[in-house]
Amino acid sequence: MIGSSAWRGRRYAVLGLARSGLATVRALLGAGAEVIAWDDGEQARATLARDDQLRRYLPDGATGVRNAGADDHVGAGNRLLLANFLDFTTFEGFAGVVVSPGVPINKHVVAAKARAAGIPLIGDIELFAQARAELPAHKVVGITGTNGKSTTTALIHHILETAGIPARLGGNIGLPILDQAPLPEGGVYVLELSSYQIDLTQGLDCDVAILLNITPDHLDRYDGFAGYAASKARLFTMQSRGHVAIIGIGDEASQDIAKQVSRSGRAEDLTKIAPGVCMDQSRWPALQGPHNAQNALAAIAACDALGVDQASIDRGLASFPGLPHRMERVATRNGVLYVNDSKATNPTSTAPALAAFDRIHWILGGQAKTDDLDACRPGFGHVARAYTIGDATEMFAALLDGELPVERSFTLDAAVKSAAAQAKAGETVLLSPACASFDQFRDYEDRGAQFRAVVGALE
């Protein structure tokens, strides 16, 4: 478990007790800090109270929630308090308020109170940044972007392991980074970073920082698109001169950030990844489509900067297994390929999937993030028929009507069964929703798992 002696004896409030929140509580307590923790969800609080590593830190006999004031002491020998601190009038005396990335800090009362008291509002990635000085000598690669960051993060990690370099995968993918064992000297931490995580980080100086692209997303958390882009740009402003910046320049916002890096006196640090580069991807079965060409270029540039030899990079690209729910080939039945691209939660991330296959039965819909499918339009010629589902059923059907054949399926189950009945050998049934999943599913992973299940049950 990663931790820092600087946390010892200091007091932290932790808001949000999902995976990263629980990992944060464990790391802080393991380093000797005092923690007051809270989550609005009763189940999340119960999970903490049942955790074998954490239960021993609770006050004797504690079975649940108690009220606490800002001056309440956790108590000698019992350094964890599960208490609702949302009504604190002040956070004076705290070293930091640690919030999970899902907490909307642009409008949450705790965020406003912490800022008013001058108390740092941070996340687990900032705590990792604080702990770096005590870790064996290492490097950090940080990857952000609206689309492609999970694939690129996993690909870099895979290439490093192929080359025999110790590596950890973390951030917005895999296990929370604070829950992982420190790497030996010479290791590389590879972190997928959402804009939310960057917002909660002040001191992460990445040896290699990557921005893949920026398209409209999460705008409910920002002051317009410019605010969202500015969040991504902070990954580079935290870097020291001489550290590598790799930026895809396929969109105007990313181009502007590349110019900012160059004008800041870091032109020699900058590598630009141009869109539309023609590459032979035939030897990389899990990296098909133009979007994966960009992901591969970014990974190649990062690994080259880390000193990985070309032979290992080539082996890693060829053996990369891909990610669940991202262009995942689920099955081939009667000559029809079924592909799970559930992680495509906006039209821009769906567009590359439409370009990767010729005759597609396209399942799309859910909780829409935009009121258009313009980003997908170049791929319409590849679509044999579309099947709309979820909250966006009617809106997407109306957008596609007249452009291509479309069915209003409403549910994923109905869409898969209808597509299976109509698809011919050599065609592809593609779940690439261009929408969030929360209208009908727990998350995109649940949506993808249910797609797999329905496909598996086809006769």
122-175 pLDDT, tens digit per residue, is 999 999 999 999 999 999 999 999 988 999 999 999 999 999 999 999 999 989
Average confidence score pLDDT of the chain: 92
- What is the dotted CATH code of the domain comprising 127-319? 3.40.1190.10
pLDDT of residue 61: 47
pLDDT of residue 304: 98
Please tell me the distance from the alpha carbon of residue 452 to that of residue 449, in angstroms, as a whole number: 5
Does residue 293 carry a pLDDT above 80? Answer: yes
Please tell me the distance from the alpha carbon of residue 346 to that of residue 372, in angstroms, as a whole number: 10
- Let me know if the fold of 7-122 is the same as that of 328-456: no
Mean pLDDT value across residues 373-395: 97
Instruction: Take residue 436 and report the two structure tokens written for it.
Output: 């969030």
Does residue 360 carry a pLDDT above 60? Answer: yes
Q: How many CB atoms lie within 10 A of CB 399?
A: 19
Please tell me the distance from the alpha carbon of residue 80 to that of residue 21, in angstroms, as a whole number: 14
Please tell me the distance from the alpha carbon of residue 294 to that of residue 291, in angstroms, as a whole number: 5
Which tens digits make up the pLDDT trace of 24-49?
999 999 999 999 999 988 999 899 98
8 A C-beta contact, residue 31 and residue 15: no
pTM given for the model? 0.83
Instruction: Take residue 344 and report the two structure tokens written for it.
Output: 């495509």
Please tell me the distance from the alpha carbon of residue 304 to that of residue 317, in angstroms, as a whole number: 13
Name the percent of the chain lying above pLDDT 90.
75
Which tens digits make up the pLDDT trace of 48-67?
988 888 988 887 544 444 44
More confident: 197 or 63: 197
Beta strands in 134-282, from DSSP E residues, in sequence order: 138-144, 167-171, 187-192, 208-211, 244-248, 270-273
Gap between the terminal Cα atoms of the chain: 47
Largest Cα separation within the chain, whole Å, is 70
**Strand partners for 250:** none
Please tell me the distance from the alpha carbon of residue 13 to that of residue 214, in angstroms, as a whole number: 32
Amino acid letter at 449?
A
pLDDT of residue 60: 59
Lowest mean pLDDT among 184-188, 294-298, 320-324, 377-381: 320-324
Of the candidates 160, 172, 430, 155, the residue with the CA atom closest to the CA atom of residue 292: 155
Does residue 386 carry a pLDDT above 50? Answer: yes
Which tens digits make up the pLDDT trace of 337-353?
999 999 999 998 899 89
The single residue listed with the structure tokens 């957008």 is: 399
Does residue 196 carry a pLDDT above 60? Answer: yes
Instruction: Take residue 224 and report the two structure tokens written for it.
Output: 């317009």
Please tell me the distance from the alpha carbon of residue 436 to that of residue 390, in angstroms, as a whole number: 10
Does residue 76 carry a pLDDT above 50? Answer: no
Sheet strand arrangement including 383-389:
328-333, 336-340, 428-431, 360-365, 383-389, 406-410
Instruction: Take residue 426 and report the two structure tokens written for it.
Output: 């050599």
Lowest mean pLDDT among 84-88, 190-194, 408-412: 84-88
Please tell me the distance from the alpha carbon of residue 307 to that of residue 454, in angstroms, as a whole number: 45
Please tell me the distance from the alpha carbon of residue 373 to that of residue 379, in angstroms, as a whole number: 11
pLDDT of residue 215: 87
More confident: 352 or 453: 453
Does residue 68 carry a pLDDT above 50? Answer: no
Q: Distances in Å between the alpha carbon of 15 and those of 69, 112, 202, 396, 408?
A: 16, 14, 18, 37, 41
pLDDT of residue 88: 80
pLDDT of residue 421: 98
Element (H, E) at 422: helix 412-422
Q: Rg of the chain over CA atoms, in angstroms?
A: 23
Does residue 428 carry a pLDDT above 90? Answer: yes
Element (H, E) at 417: helix 412-422
8 A C-beta contact, residue 444 and residue 325: yes
Which tens digits make up the pLDDT trace of 81-109?
888 888 887 788 899 999 998 888 888 88
Instruction: Take residue 443 and report the two structure tokens written for it.
Output: 């998350």
Q: Distances in Å between the alpha carbon of 329 and those of 69, 339, 426?
A: 53, 5, 14
Does residue 335 carry a pLDDT above 80? Answer: yes
Length of the chain as a residue count? 459
Instruction: Take residue 354 and report the two structure tokens written for it.
Output: 């439409």
Residue 272 has φ and ψ, to the nearest 5°, of: -105, 135
Range picked from 207-221, 267-281, 445-459 for highest mean pLDDT: 445-459
Mean pLDDT value across residues 325-331: 91
pLDDT of residue 276: 67
CATH topology of domain 7-122: Rossmann fold (3.40.50)
Which tens digits make up the pLDDT trace of 235-270?
999 999 999 999 999 999 999 999 999 999 999 999
Of the candidates 383, 344, 378, 380, the residue with the CA atom closest to the CA atom of residue 362: 383
Does residue 286 carry a pLDDT above 90? Answer: no
- Per-domain residue ranges for the chain? 7-122, 127-319, 328-456
The single residue listed with the structure tokens 């007051």 is: 36
Beta strands 11-15 and 328-333 are unpaired
More confident: 221 or 308: 308
Q: Confidence class of residue 75 from pLDDT cuts 50, 70 and 90?
A: very low
- Given the candidates 3.40.47.10, 3.90.190.20, 1.10.287.1080, 3.60.130.10, the CATH classification of the domain at 328-456 is 3.90.190.20
